[in-house]
Every structure is written in C-alpha cells, then in structure tokens.
Structure 1
Amino acid sequence: MTLDLLLTEGVKVLTEAGIEEATLDARYLLFEVFHTDMTHFLLDRGRVISEDDQVLDQVKQYRLMIEKRSQRIPLQHITGSREFMGLEFYVNEHVLIPRQDTETLVELILKDYKGRKPVILDMCTGSGCIAISLSKIGGFDDVAAVDLSKEALKVAKRNADVLLGPGRITLIESDLFQAIEPKSRFDIIVSNPPYIPTEIIKELQPEVRNFEPMLALDGREDGLFFYRQLVSEGRRFLNPGGSIYFEIGYDQAESVSALLEDAGFAEIRVVKDAAGLDRVVCAVMK
C-alpha cells in the first residue's frame, strides 16, 4: 500500500458519490490524517507505507473519513475545523461553517474602524468567527456576541478561549435583542443572519441543507425576516453615528437597503465580495 494508492482509492469513492471536488477533498483528508503536505506527499507517494499499528490506524481513519464525505457530510465537520481570516476555527453541526464571503464583512469593518476602539455587538454569532476575528485582528476589546443556540455558543466560547483567551469577548444567549440590557449602546451592530428563503433551502447542496443548522439558514418566507427585526430593534441600541453592517444574499442589496432607508439610516453602502457579487450592506444611524 502506498499513499498514492490510498489517494486513488479515496478519489474513486468520492467521485462515485457525486462529490464535485473529489480529488481535492480526498487529498485534503489524506494530508490531514497522515500529517503531511503536498511537497512531502510528492516525495513519498510511491513509497510502500509501513504496516505498524499506528499507520494501520491512520489508514482506517482515512477510509472512515472518506466514507463520511461520501455521505455528503461537509469536509469541515469531518475535520472539525475551518480557516477564516487566517485563523483556525473549530466547527461542528451546530454552527454555520464560516465562508470566505463573510470575510468581506469583517474586512470592511476593520478598514472603517482602523485605529478606533468601537463597542461591537455581533448578532447571530454562530461559531464566533466575526466577533473573534474583529477582536483578534482589529484589537477591538469591547465585543459582545449573541446567539439563540446554546450549542452554538459553546462552539463560540471554545473558539474564543483558544484564539483570544478566556473572557475576552462577552457571549450572550438571546433571541436577537431580547436579553440585551436595555441601556446597552454599541458603535457597531454586525450580523450575518439567516437569509435564505425557506423554499430555496431544499434546492441547496446536501452538505448544506442536510448537515448545517436550519436555525442559521432559514430567513423565513422572503429571506428578510431577520433583517427587519435587526433594523427595527437595532436603532435603540446604537450610539449616535453608530453603524450597522449586514452580510446579505447576492440578490438582497436593494431590499435590505430599502429597510435601512425606511428606518431612517443614512450613508447606505453596498459592498461586493471577491466574486463581484453584492455581499454587504452597511449604514449609519442619523
């Protein structure tokens, strides 16, 4: 048995299961299990691997991971991690897997508030990737992160403890603003809320619709339910001149901008992601 043969075996299983990036996923899992990289793989791919207990366990683990991936379980759930903003986040089935699209949201806030010390509220935090990245990279030390899910908050706490240290951000279990202290005021409210219309969810890839939390996906009938709540309730928690930042679906810029305008927000901007799609809407409270 060689690493090359193991990779070929994995690619075949994933291809037959209809995985679009079968080669990439099989290679990633192989590298993960055998603690190697492309350079060392190319050097060692044809070498017969030993059959000691440790290596046999690695082979067994690799095949188990391939089997899970063939069942359309997301790669990140199998490995338990996802890179976001250059940081490694723990993820599981209780949180939305961080996407590169969301980096557009974080990067915009880092740019807009460079050299400043805003008080930040991250609503629908999930894995904590937004709040933690802002605190870690921006040096913002007054960040609160909110989620309705107890299990999601456990994931966010684990990530915060590892990447920031215990107690660096405040984690709050709340149905949107319900448990937020009424006198609290923030300079920034940021959110990547559930924004997929209910009927569209059934059309998503199996990895998303079957394995990612519905609570983090379902934006109700038109996908705008949570934007309406965040806009209408968020005003009273913002300091004068405070800003609100939303990740949006590629076709929601006009609708979300209209909600902000109707609520009296000014300086409304739409920012595109790396693919050129509308991805962020932000505005300032008058």
Structure 2
Amino acid sequence: MPVQYILGEWDFQGLSLKMAPPVFIPRPETEELVEWVLEEVAPRPRAAEPQGGPLILEVGCGSGAISLSLLSHLPQSRAIAVDKGAAAVCLTRENAQRLRLQDRIHIVPLDVTSEGSWAHLLPWGPLDLIVSNPPYVFRQDMEQLAPEIRSYEDPAALDGGEKGMDIIERILALAPRLLKDSGSIFLEVDPRHPELVGGWLQSRPDLSLQLVAVRRDFCGRPRFLHVRRSGAPDGRPVDVQPGPLPAGAPG
C-alpha cells in the first residue's frame, strides 16, 4: 500500500492534505504545475475586477490538491472543483474544510464526458483558468505501472484511452464555452502529448485555442501545457520553457 494511504495524509505545496484510497495521490510533478500557474497568474493586476482574483476550474480534483493550493496562494481567488468519483468529491470537501477554504470553493460531482452536465458550471460565470492533471496514461502503458499503483489507485484517474488523449480532448473541446476571452488552460500531460495536442488544436480552428507554451518537469521531460483562448495570433511559435532542469537532464 502506498505510504500516503498508510499515513492518511500527505504534504502538497506546504498543505497537509488527507489521503484515502482509491483517490489519486498527487505527485511532485503536479506541484510544478501549480507553481507555473502561480507564476503566470499572480503578477496580473486584477484591481478592476469585482472579485479581485481569478475564477478557477479544476477538472478531476481527486484530493483537491491543485485547487486548494491555488486558493491558498491567491487569497482573492475562487474555485470550482469537479470529479466524477464520489470518493474524490468527498475527499476534496474534507480537505477544503481542513484548510478552512470551503467558503471559496464549489465542489461538484461531474463527469466531463457527459456534455450536458457542463451546464451546471455556467451559473458561476466565465472562467479565468482551467487547470487539470487529467488521466493521461496511454492504455497500452497501464500494465507497466507499478504494482502499488495498479492495486490501490483508481484506474479511471490514470487511463487516458488509446493515446492518453480522451479527457484532454474533452477538456479542450468544452473550454471555449466556459473560458473568458484570453482565458487559459494549464494541463499536466505525458511527454508525448505536446505534439499530439498541438496537432489536434490545429485541426480544430473553430475552438479558437492555441498551444502557447510547453514546460519541462524536473527530469527535463515536456510535461505541462499552457493553452490560451484567442490569445496569440496564428503562426506564433510555441514557447518551450525549460523549467528547473537538473544537472545531466536532457535538453
């Protein structure tokens, strides 16, 4: 059994979060995703906005690690956290109460593959950000995962379909209905996905979404994507950001 489940809690971005099987255990790479979002969002002036901070949607919230850590670093922000798993929804609620952030987050049971269910998100207004660590493991790679992962963690939080793109494509297809103009999507993905996502977006110009930056993780792998709605002009090259590369890591 993973040590996080044995201990019943785990640290993420300085927050002590409750952990319980089979809810997905947040990895160190996801902390890097949060750090990148904060780098991009925190410097933006928001004094003219009534709420003073961004409205954030986390898709596939699991333990609530991403949305709760963003709320803790962005004091005027608000979040909506969705997950199709009842255990994940309950755990996110517990962690929000544990951190006294329950008044700034709406936690909604939602299956993103069910298009009609997205209407439930519209009353909260257009979003500034969508952030997700979606299921992105290629189905053929599922059997290669460590035994403790296969035995204890929810496979639905890992299996992204044949090319690991099933939920990624769904998020991107529905994002224009929910995002403000120039709103952003930040995703954690497989290192093979930047090229796949870039090609998919080029095939869907109707979405008005563009991959504007790719960031590497601490092992030097292209792991994080920044997609923007109506942000950069067509033809702008993708910005590949190195992130913190260790000595000897591939460039």
TM-score (norm. length: structure 2): 0.81
Following TM superposition, by how much is the alpha carbon of 1:226 offset from its aligned partner in structure 2, in angstroms? 0.6
Alignment of 1:285 with 2:237, yes or no, is no
Provide the aligned C-alpha RMSD in A: 1.6
Corresponding position of 1:149: 85
SS of residue paired to 1:268: strand
Deviations 1:127-171 (A, max 9, x none): 000000000022243111000111111111111111134322110
Determine if contact 1:122/1:191 at 8 Å carries over to the other structure: yes
- Equivalent in the alignment of 1:256: 197
Q: Is the 8 A contact 1:84 1:103 kept in 2?
A: yes
Cα distance in 1 for residues equivalent to 2:156 and 2:211: 31
Aligned to 2:11: 83
The aligned residue for residue 213 of structure 2 is: 269
Q: Residues 160 and 134 of structure 1: is their aligned pair in 2 closer, same or farther, counting only changes over 3 Å?
A: same
Aligned mates of 1:181, 1:79 — CA distance in 2:
34
The whole-number CA distance in structure 2 between the counterparts of 1:144 and 1:206 is 33
Give 1:172's aligned residue: 108
Give the AA of the match of 2:199: A
State the 1:259 CA deviation: 2.6
Higher helix share: 1
AA aligned to 1:246 is: L
Q: Distance in 2 between matches of 1:125 and 1:274?
A: 23
Instruction: State the shift of 1:210 in Å.
Output: 1.1
Q: Does 1:217 align with 2:158?
A: yes
Mapped to 2, the partners of 1:162 and 1:125 lie a distance apart of: 16
Map 1:27-176 → 2, pairs under 5 A: 73-115=1-43, 116=46, 117-176=53-112
Q: How many residues get paired?
A: 214
- Cα deviation for residue 89 of structure 1 reads 1.1
Cα distance in 1 for partners of 2:3, 2:122 equals 41
Give, as a single letter, the amino acid of the residue that structure 2 aligns with 1:162: R
Q: Deviations over 1:78-114 (max 9, x none)?
A: 1111211111111111311110001121111111111
User: What do the CA deviations read for 1:52-99 (whole angstroms, capped 9, x no partner)?
Assistant: xxxxxxxxxxxxxxxxxxxxx111111111211111111111311110
Runs of 4+ in 1 over 6 A off after TM superposition: none
Cα displacement string for residues 28-70 of structure 1 (whole angstroms, at most 9, x for unaligned residues)? xxxxxxxxxxxxxxxxxxxxxxxxxxxxxxxxxxxxxxxxxxx
Q: Is the 8 A contact 2:71 2:101 kept in 1?
A: no
Task: Return the structure number with greater strand share.
Answer: 2
C-alpha distance in 1 between matches for 2:229 and 2:128: 10
Identity, in percent, stands at 32
Structure 1 residues 172 and 254: alpha-carbon distance in aligned structure 2, compared to 1, 3 A threshold: same
Q: Quick check: 2:33–2:188 contact (8 Å CA) kept in 1?
A: yes
- SS of residue matched to 1:157: helix
Q: Which residue of 2 aligns with 1:181?
A: 121
Structure 2 unpaired stretches of 5+: 47-52, 231-251
Q: Alignment partner of 2:104: what SS?
A: coil
The answer (yes or no) to whether the contact 1:136–1:164 under 8 Å persists in 2 is no
